[in-house]
Amino acid sequence: MAITFYTYPKCGTCRKAKKWLEENGNSFEEVHLVDAPPSKETLEELYQKSGLDIKKFFNTSGMKYRDLGLKDKLHTMSDDEKLSLLASDGMLIKRPLTTDGSKATVGFKEQEFEQYWSR
């Protein structure tokens, strides 16, 4: 199945991940995370498939995260509220977000990409 690669072009980590995917022969559909953020339903699906804590989906180093004071608010929010918040603004999502429909990764760690996305 084809890889969907949610990215933000100005993000250095996204560029490294994209280069890794290309160098390892992966075909993928690139989706601009800010212009076309994944829906709440898609995010919920990716969250379930990733096996990660939902907090890992937040771009905790982003200005938007800090401006909204999410460090102090996330622990009181339900997963449903967190997913709605993530879907409302692509800048809140940790990037890149990579999926093939059966598994998902958040961010870029070369070791993780080798495990999940090596052909």
Domains of the chain in sequence order: 3-117 (3.40.30.10)
Indicate the length of the chain as a whole number. Answer: 119
Q: Is 46 exposed, middle or buried (0-12, 13-18, 19+ CB in 10 A)?
A: buried
The closest alpha carbon to 85, from 57, 51, 53, belongs to 57
pLDDT of amino acid 119: 77
Encoded tokens for 84: 């709605």
How high is the mean pLDDT of the chain? 96
**Nearest alpha-carbon partner for 97 in 2, 6, 22, 1:** 6
Q: How far is CA 2 from the centre of its chain?
A: 16
State residue 1's pLDDT score.
63
> Position 74: which residue type?
L
Question: Which of the residues in the chain have pLDDT under 50?
Answer: none
User: For 52-84, how does the pLDDT look when each residue is reduced to its tens digit (9 = 90+)?
Assistant: 999 999 999 999 999 999 999 999 999 999 999
C-alpha to C-alpha distance for 32 and 94, rounded to whole angstroms: 13
pTM of the model: 0.93
